[in-house]
Structure formats: structure tokens, C-alpha cells
Amino acid sequence: MVKRHKTGKTEQMGVMNRAKKAKMSANTGTSFKHKSTASTNPYRPDPSGGKPGSRFRTRATINRLNMYVAKPDLEKMRERPKDPQAGRIQPDRRWFGNVRTVDQKELDKYRKSLEDNQTKKGTGYSVLVKGKKLPLSLVKETYDKTLSKGERLLQIEKHEDTFGPKMKRKRPNVGITDLESMVKEIQSKQGNYDETKDNDLLKHVISDTREAHRHKVFDKGMSKRIWEELYKVIDSSDVLIHVLDSRNPNGTRSKFLEDYLKKNCPSKHLIFVLNKCDLIPTSVTQKWVKYLSKVNPTLAFQASVNNPFGKGTLIQLLKQFDILHKDKKNISVGFIGYPNVGKSSVINTLKKKQVCKVAPIPGETKVWQYISLTKRIYLIDCPGIVYDPGESLTDKVLKAVVRAEKVPDPEVYIEAILEKTEKKHIVDIYGVLDWKDSEDFINQVAHRSGKLLKGGEPDINNVSKTIIMDWQRGNIPYFEFPPKTEEEDDKDKNKNEEEAEQKEDEQQNEDLEDDDEEDEEEDDGAEDSS
């Protein structure tokens, strides 16, 4: 009979427990027990009992943290597959087919729809509901006959293949064999040279003496960095809102951007928003909306977080564009325009809180900003851009492109402000009843406001900057009427003609009445004499 000692039994139980632990660790991939409370154990129990709001790490989080600590198996990474077919892509006929196919009839139909959209004399109400993901080179003619020879050449051949060190183009035939013939030809051309017919020279002729000493301040909004920000906004946006100053919409409207969008981005929608409509009469706002609506959809707007105007109409219009682009996850709306027209203020009005930094001075927005209006509509704020093919410095100052405190020689621009503003408004604001010229006006304002230098001399610089600042912030009332159309001109002519005819008829009637009265007096005199 064999006796079993207690110690042997305990040893046997210990071996069995170790075997169970090894089996458990092999199945679970960890050496911890399920009931272990170690922070690296993904199977540890939740001390809060699964209550909401607890900060207990999930199993995925713990496994990810353990992965950061684990060392990679370099030998396994260096192993090469034994099967040569393992790293190859399986042959499939879909890999050799066209990813996107388009029929010629469908391509012609799409080209015609784009041309019709552009040739309707600027109506921005016809939109492409579903745009084709095709390069515009397939739809438009890349060879433009109106361009110069050099530009046409770059449309056909690349710059590297034409002018670079690896050029493939043959050397052109100049028609000159030796140096003497080249010198004779140059001398003959110099003899026939006329400076008045040189277009390149006429472009740089300075008409204004102030342009010769142009300050760097007047180049604000035209830098390469600002235009790069603009093109980022255009590329990222589905709808573009061109914010205009209602006091001078045509002056703050960039025709270059409109032509660029029609030519290169026909699928993007353009909207005009007349901001600061509270600074002009309602009748003038209606005329501007009617005038600009012939080109693109136009809305009147007053940017104010507490008392806005036109906010509901703009949001409703953006929701209509959102419905048009149902196939997209979301749409982006970019705000572009001149500096100090109120792009950031319009975004703050739509959000009903200050999400963009605003100030009554130009150049406050430095880079583009992305703001979410709804789950599907995003707004993009853009810095103010300026495109001046021939604007004078006075136009830049009056359009609030330049900050008033940084304007050099501010007294030069006061005369233009006095010419564009009615005299009664100037009298009400500054209390000056009469003045000879702008210099006399500045001196009177300086004496009335007490802005004097040593010896009682008027502070012309400070007073002039104050007047320009009042102009830019809208304290001085000013607005422009929209240009009249041909129909309105004809109506005015007909109205003037009718008024002239009425005056002639009235004059004739008065003359006839006078003649009748004279005849009656003569008859009465004859009766008395008889």
C-alpha cells in the first residue's frame, strides 16, 4: 500500500496551477490574471462598475499603450517571403481599364452647357447641379489665338522642353549670318524708333507727381502672400460671396476676380453682398440691388450681431446651395473683397457671436480662417485684396484701403472729400459755415477743435487724419448712385422732352390769354370812346 504524503499532493497541485496559468497566458496574450488590477492588464475589472463618466481605460487604449512599449521583432521584419507570388498583385482586367470614361456626345453636351452659362451676359442664376470631374482642357480650347506667339508656344509645349537645358526644340532661324549684318539691322531699327509709339514705355509714364514717391503703405492688399491666401480660399470654396461697400459698390468690386472665376472656375457660384446698407438711403440700396442683380444674385446686408439686416435671406440662400450639392459631405463658403468692407463682420453676424477678429480699420485679417456655420456649411474668411490696374492714391485712401494714421501727407486728400460730400453735412459735423479751399477748412477745424501746435499754429497733419478717419468709418455721409442703363437714359430723354413740350404749351397758352385780354381792353376802349 502506497502512502501519499501531503507535501507531494501540494507539489502536484502547484504544477497543475502553473500549467493552467501558462495556458491562460497563451490564449489571452498576457501573463496577467483576468482579475489582476495592473494598469497594463486589458482584462482588469472596472472599479467604477461601468458607471457613465468614469475615466477607466478601455481595452483598445491599453493595447495601444502596450504597443508603444513593445519592441519590434527585427529578425521577423528582415525575413523575405518564401513564396515569390506572395508580394505580387493578382492579375485583374479592372486594373488595365479606364477609371473614368466619358462619351463624346456627353462631353459635347457638357461643353455646351458651360458655354451657355458663360454667354448669358453674366447671369449668375444658372448653376450646374452636378459638375463633371473632368479637366477643363477637355472641355475648353487650350489654343487661344488672341495670345502672343510666346504664350501660344507655352500652351503647346512645356517650358523645360522649349527653353530649359534639356530642350528638344530646334534652334530658330534668325536670318543673320554674321556680326556686321546684325549691327546694321540694329542701327536701322534704332533710327526708326519712336518713343511715343512704345507701349511698354507708356505704361510706366507717371502722370501724378505723388506716384513718383509712392509710399509702401499704398501697396497693402497687393502682396504675393495676400493673393496666395485668396487663391487658397477660391480653391477650397464651392460658393464665393463678394462683399461690397454699399457706399461705393463699383469701386470695391473687382472685375478681375469675376472674369477669373468665369474662365477658370465655372462651377463655383458667386454672390454679391452689399454690406453697410444702413449708411445710405433705402432707395439707393434698392437701385444698387436691381443694378447688380443683372450680373449675379445680390443681397443687401447690415452686419450687426444684435440688430442685423438680411441675415435670414443669406442663410436661406446658403441652404439652397447646400441642397444643390447633396452629393458632397459639406460645402464651403468663401468671403472675398476689398479691405474694410466687413467680411469678418458678416461672418460674426451669421454666427451671432464674435468668431473673427474685427476692427474699423483695413488689414485686420492676416490669414484665412475656417468657421463652421452648420454641420454641412463651413465659412472661410479671407484677407482683403486689392487689384488696381490704374487707381490713383486718392481712390485708395477714399476706399479705406490704407489706414488713416499711416497716410503720408493726409492734407492732400481733404479736397476730394469736400468735393464728394454735400456742404450741409460738413457744416453739421464740423460746424464750419464757409471756407475758401481745403487748407482754409483744415485751419478752421483745427481752431474749433483746439488741435494747435506751439505758437497757436494749426496741427494740419493731425486734423487731416481725423477727417480721413471719419470718412472711412462712415461718420461723413456719402454714397454714389448706380450708373444708368440705356432704358433709363431713354426714359429721362423722353421725360425731358415731354416737360419741354408742356412748358411750350403753357407759354403759348399764356401768350394767347394775354392777346385775348389786350383785345378785350381795346374793345372796351372803343366802346367808351363811342
Average pLDDT, 10 consecutive residues per value, the chain (530 residues): 45 51 48 63 76 77 84 81 63 59 75 69 64 63 60 63 69 72 84 71 47 63 84 90 92 88 84 92 91 90 89 92 87 90 90 84 80 90 82 83 85 89 89 87 89 86 90 87 72 70 74 68 60
**CATH number for the domain running over 219-381:** 3.40.50.300
The C-alpha atoms of residue 75 and residue 96 are separated, in whole angstroms, by 37
| Amino acid of residue 510 | E
Could you tell me which residues are beta bridge partners of residue 245?
275
* Cβ burial, residue 80 (10 Å; 0-12/13-18/19+): exposed
pLDDT at 20: 53
| Phi-psi map region of 177: left, alpha, beta (phi>0 left; psi -120 to 50 alpha) | alpha
C-alpha distance across the termini of the chain, in Å:
187
pLDDT at 209: 43
pTM exceeds 0.75: no
Q: Where are the alpha helices (DSSP H) in 214-297?
A: 224-236, 255-264, 282-292
> What are the cell numbers at 275?
454690406
pLDDT at 145: 60
Residues 6+ apart with CB under 8 A from 305: 348, 349, 352, 353, 354
Domain boundaries, the chain: 219-381, 403-473
pLDDT at 90: 61
Q: What is the DSSP letter of 280?
A: S
> What are the cell numbers at 258?
469675376
Q: Where are the alpha helices (DSSP H) in 29-47?
A: none
* Cβ burial, residue 400 (10 Å; 0-12/13-18/19+): buried
The C-alpha atoms of residue 287 and residue 481 are separated, in whole angstroms, by 8
Name the strand (E) or helix (H) holding 111. helix 104-118
How many residues are there in the chain?
530
| Strand order across the beta sheet in which 377-381 lies | 298-300, 269-275, 239-245, 331-336, 377-381, 369-372
Pick the closest to residue 409 from 393, 422, 390 (CA basis).
393
The C-alpha atoms of residue 124 and residue 111 are separated, in whole angstroms, by 18
Q: Is the dihedral of CA 165, 169, 174, 177 positive or negative?
A: positive
Measured at the CA of 244, the angle between CA 409 and CA 126, to 5 degrees, comes to: 150
The C-alpha atoms of residue 56 and residue 45 are separated, in whole angstroms, by 10
